[in-house]
């Protein structure tokens, strides 16, 4: 499609004046129709030009059809078992489940890392965490900024003519900080959300940031409706402007304080009154209030219902705007289930039985639900076990919109899997590496390398620094209960895994 767009951008030299070129960055089909109307009126076009117009019109239709809107919803610390379409039994997520029923569900998809910042860095750059510039959260959030030399997902989409917006928790710098920290410095036309990652621990912040400007809030304002509405407004404005859009919604739900709309919280307190004596507590940095939560069990269910309702609002809006069939909606989580702010992952079976949770390299820390819906293009109710991760989003989206994949990319497009067509190239291995506080060029953390997870075929290596490698056969042992590293039968597998670890991990 890149070739097609370059043809579309060529000027028509034989048509003078206003007809000298076409602005096909906007919706091509519409532009061609407008162009034809103008030319007819002026009566200055030669036969040669009409042929060109026809070709442009046909190519324009193709280009328009091939440029779907993209909505990517990123939950925060939502575990593999936290959605009813992934087995959650204690509450339902009917709107999110629609993405599975009407699209594709991934069962082998990995977050970029096991905590927020490095996971988002992988999503935005397509560089997996063994090679990514940042591999842990950092206290000094300006160190989280994506380096200038790396292209980003929204930058690729801007090149393809998209309007780009991000709404929620950015996690890659202070959103009214330096240019590289701001979403606008990384390719987003619009941003509405929390000022910083730490402040996003509370849903009652003192302020939020709108396009680089800090907006103060009245004490006690629940900030989510402001952010959610901004995302909906962005989609509506994009459709009105006849531009394809990329709407990135990194919600802070269900992390970390169990804050939810009051009416939903009250509703769930009645369902789980036996937990009313529990109090959920969390902090959000200096000067920020993080109100305690009575009954954080009810708080969690209420947050999840609130998030599910937002997905319902988005799907209803896409239908209302007539773009439902030309919009890809994706949903994933930045890392596994947490146990902060009074959340009880055991009570909810938030990991779906997977071992471990946020901050570790067992499956519960890194495997995420992943849903992709595109009506008419992706088979309804499809399920795939294709091994994939956040670094595959950049190449997949690049291919989807016909743009060149940035050189830094380490992922593989999963478009053949989505459409059930063509050969799906597979990862030889998939590596996730976590260094708390680790960033290239930043302060040197005490633990240079904390832990690694390596997937290859049915195998999984778990490695914690200073300890021996552990080997699991995930198809036979999905909950990582039997370490086979010492079994003489599997020494070759282990040696192969060590080679992949060496190849996949670059020093910070
Ligand atoms: Ca997170």
Q: Give the pLDDT confidence of 320-347 residue by residue, as tens digits.
A: 999 999 999 999 999 999 999 999 999 9
- Does residue 197 contact residue 117 with C-beta atoms inside 8 Å? yes
The pLDDT of residue 507? 87
Q: Is 338 helix (H, G, I), strand (E, B) or coil?
A: coil
- Domain assignment present for residue 137? The answer is yes
Centroid of ligand 1 to alpha carbon of 349 (angstroms): 18
- Does residue 68 contact residue 326 with C-beta atoms inside 8 Å? yes
Centroid of ligand 1 to alpha carbon of 251 (angstroms): 10
Residues 368 and 469 grouped into a single domain:
no
- Does residue 394 contact residue 405 with C-beta atoms inside 8 Å? yes
CATH code of 489's domain: 3.30.1120.10
Residues 60 and 72 grouped into a single domain:
no
Residues 151 and 28 grouped into a single domain:
no
Residues 191 and 245 grouped into a single domain:
yes
Centroid of ligand 1 to alpha carbon of 487 (angstroms): 36
pLDDT surpassing 90 at residue 372: yes
The pLDDT of residue 106? 98
- Domain assignment present for residue 97? The answer is yes
Structural domains in the chain (count) = 3
Centroid of ligand 1 to alpha carbon of 356 (angstroms): 15
Report residue 94's pLDDT band, with 50, 70 and 90 as the boundaries: very high
Centroid of ligand 1 to alpha carbon of 177 (angstroms): 21
Centroid of ligand 1 to alpha carbon of 77 (angstroms): 4
Mean pLDDT computed over 161-177: 98
> Which of 20 and 157 is assigned the larger pLDDT?
157
Residues in the chain: 508
Centroid of ligand 1 to alpha carbon of 371 (angstroms): 18
- Domain assignment present for residue 424? The answer is no
Centroid of ligand 1 to alpha carbon of 311 (angstroms): 19
Mean pLDDT computed over 285-304: 97
Residues 10 and 142 grouped into a single domain:
no
Centroid of ligand 1 to alpha carbon of 334 (angstroms): 5
- Global pTM reads 0.88
Centroid of ligand 1 to alpha carbon of 116 (angstroms): 4
Centroid of ligand 1 to alpha carbon of 130 (angstroms): 18
How many CA atoms within 13 Å lie on the side-chain side of 179?
4
- Domain assignment present for residue 498? The answer is yes
Centroid of ligand 1 to alpha carbon of 433 (angstroms): 15
Centroid of ligand 1 to alpha carbon of 74 (angstroms): 9
Q: SS3 string of 401-454?
A: HCCCCCCCCCCCCCHHHHHCCCCCCCCCCEEEEECCCCECCCCCCCCCCCEEEE
Residues 86 and 105 grouped into a single domain:
yes
Last residue of a domain, one of 389, 419, 449: 419
Centroid of ligand 1 to alpha carbon of 173 (angstroms): 15
- Domain assignment present for residue 363? The answer is yes
Q: Give the pLDDT confidence of 218-273 residue by residue, as tens digits.
A: 999 999 999 999 999 999 999 999 999 999 999 999 999 999 999 999 999 999 99
pLDDT surpassing 80 at residue 437: no
Last residue of a domain, one of 64, 87, 111: 64
The pLDDT of residue 224? 98
Mean pLDDT of the chain: 89
- Domain assignment present for residue 425? The answer is no
> Which of 6 and 387 is assigned the larger pLDDT?
387
The pLDDT of residue 32? 36
Range of the domain at 16: 2-64
Residues 363 and 242 grouped into a single domain:
yes
- Domain assignment present for residue 277? The answer is yes
The pLDDT of residue 271? 98
**How much of the chain, in percent, has pLDDT values that exceed 90?**
82
Q: Output the six-digit token pair for 4.
A: 């097609």
Residues 56 and 74 grouped into a single domain:
no
Cis peptide before 256 (omega within 30 of 0): yes
Residues 57 and 74 grouped into a single domain:
no
Centroid of ligand 1 to alpha carbon of 76 (angstroms): 4
Residues 265 and 165 grouped into a single domain:
yes
Report residue 508's pLDDT band, with 50, 70 and 90 as the boundaries: confident
Q: SS3 string of 70-112?
A: EEEEEECCCCCCCCHHHCCCCCCCHHHHHHHHCCEEECCEECC
CATH code of 119's domain: 3.40.720.10
Centroid of ligand 1 to alpha carbon of 298 (angstroms): 20
Centroid of ligand 1 to alpha carbon of 340 (angstroms): 11
The pLDDT of residue 7? 38
Residues 318 and 448 grouped into a single domain:
no
Centroid of ligand 1 to alpha carbon of 44 (angstroms): 59
Cβ count within 10 A of residue 30: 13
Centroid of ligand 1 to alpha carbon of 242 (angstroms): 34
Residues 26 and 146 grouped into a single domain:
no
Last residue of a domain, one of 385, 419, 453: 419
- Domain assignment present for residue 216? The answer is yes
Strand partners, 75: 333
Centroid of ligand 1 to alpha carbon of 348 (angstroms): 18
Report residue 448's pLDDT band, with 50, 70 and 90 as the boundaries: low
Report residue 196's pLDDT band, with 50, 70 and 90 as the boundaries: very high
């Amino acid at each position: 499609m890149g070739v097609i767009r370059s043809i579309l951008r060529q000027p028509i030299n034989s048509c003078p004046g206003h007809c000298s070129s076409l602005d096909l960055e906007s919706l091509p089909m519409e532009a061609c129709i407008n162009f034809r109307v103008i030319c007819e009126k002026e009566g200055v076009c030669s036969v040669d030009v009409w042929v060109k117009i026809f070709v442009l019109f046909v190519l324009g239709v193709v280009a328009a059809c091939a440029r779907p809107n993209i909505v990517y919803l990123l939950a925060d610390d939502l575990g593999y078992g936290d959605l009813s379409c992934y087995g959650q039994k204690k509450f339902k997520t009917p709107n999110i489940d629609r993405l599975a029923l009407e699209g594709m569900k991934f069962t082998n998809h990995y977050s970029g890392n096991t905590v927020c910042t490095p996971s988002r860095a992988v999503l935005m750059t397509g560089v997996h965490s063994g090679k990514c510039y940042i591999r842990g959260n950092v206290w000094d959030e300006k160190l989280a900024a994506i380096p200038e030399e790396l292209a980003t997902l929204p930058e690729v989409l801007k090149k393809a003519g998209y309007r780009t917006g991000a709404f929620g928790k950015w996690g890659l710098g202070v959103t009214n900080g330096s240019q590289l920290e701001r979403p606008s410095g990384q390719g987003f036309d619009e941003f509405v959300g929390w000022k910083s990652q730490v402040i996003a621990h509370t849903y009652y912040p003192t302020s939020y940031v709108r396009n680089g400007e800090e907006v103060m809030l009245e004490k006690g304002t629940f900030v989510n409706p402001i952010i959610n509405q901004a995302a909906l407004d962005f989609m509506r404005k994009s459709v009105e402007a006849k531009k394809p859009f990329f709407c990135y919604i990194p919600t802070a739900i269900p992390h970390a304080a169990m804050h939810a709309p009051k009416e939903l919280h009250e509703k769930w307190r009645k369902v789980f009154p036996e937990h009313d004596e529990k109090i959920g507590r969390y902090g959000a940095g200096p000067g920020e209030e993080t109100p305690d939560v009575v009954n954080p069990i009810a708080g969690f269910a209420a947050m999840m219902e609130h998030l599910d309702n937002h997905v319902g609002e988005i799907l209803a809006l896409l239908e209302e705007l007539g773009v439902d069939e030309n919009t890809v909606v994706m949903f994933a989580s930045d890392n596994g289930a947490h146990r902060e702010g009074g959340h009880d992952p055991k009570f909810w079976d938030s990991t779906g039985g997977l071992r471990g949770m946020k901050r570790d390299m067992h499956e519960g820390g890194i495997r995420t639900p992943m849903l992709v819906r595109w009506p008419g293009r992706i088979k309804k109710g499809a399920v795939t076990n294709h091994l994939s991760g956040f670094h595959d989003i950049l190449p997949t989206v690049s291919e989807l919109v016909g743009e060149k994949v940035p050189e830094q990319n380490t992922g593989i497009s999963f478009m053949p899997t989505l459409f059930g067509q063509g050969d799906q190239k597979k990862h030889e291995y998939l590596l996730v590496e976590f260094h708390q506080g680790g960033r290239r060029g930043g302060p040197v953390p005490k633990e240079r390398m904390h832990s690694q997870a390596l997937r290859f075929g049915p195998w999984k290596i778990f490695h914690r620094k200073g300890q021996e490698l552990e080997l699991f056969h995930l198809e036979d042992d999905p909950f990582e209960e039997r370490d086979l590293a010492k079994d003489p039968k599997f020494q070759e597998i282990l040696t192969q895994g060590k080679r992949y670890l060496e190849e996949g991990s670059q020093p910070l």
